[in-house]
Amino acid sequence: MIAIRILLTLAALEYGFSPLVMDLSSSHVLNDAWPPHARFHVVWLIGVLLLLAIISIGASWRPSSNPTVSLQLALIPGWIALLPFFAAAVLLPAYGGSFADDPSAPQIMGINGNVFAFSIAAALQAVATFMTLRLR
């Protein structure tokens, strides 16, 4: 169970805390070129992601008479955070979105930094989900 807790914590740190660090910057929230309403939505999203991560980490590590149920519940916030990201990514053409406004946005191995980071978080989350579903 400790491995599941660690995986969920690492995933939560990625989807919950990295946006706090990365998006409270001149590329997003402090970007004067962004409409004020768009910046409002980013701050709101950062708060939602942070709270989901805190809930997941708390549920993962809290003492419980039924740790399997706690881990099952700890999975939910991560998927709430991650699945809409990938849905938004797939639907980019439908709403005219983009991963970045700046062509010099960070890329890792030729992949947008957000996509790369959230893919790692999703992989960690998926492994934790598989392991949790196998608990008896």
Which of these ranges, 38-47, 84-93, 103-112, 117-126, has the smallest mean pLDDT? 103-112
Q: What is the pLDDT of residues 89-102, one digit of tens each?
A: 999 999 999 888 77
CATH code at 106?
1.20.1440
**Number of domains composing the chain:** 1
Q: What is the largest CA-CA distance in the chain?
A: 53
Q: What is the pLDDT of residues 47-88, one digit of tens each?
A: 999 999 999 999 999 999 999 999 999 999 999 999 999 999
Structure tokens at 73: 């519940």
Q: How far is CA 50 from CA 100, 102, 114, 121, in A?
A: 21, 25, 16, 14
Average confidence score pLDDT of the chain: 94
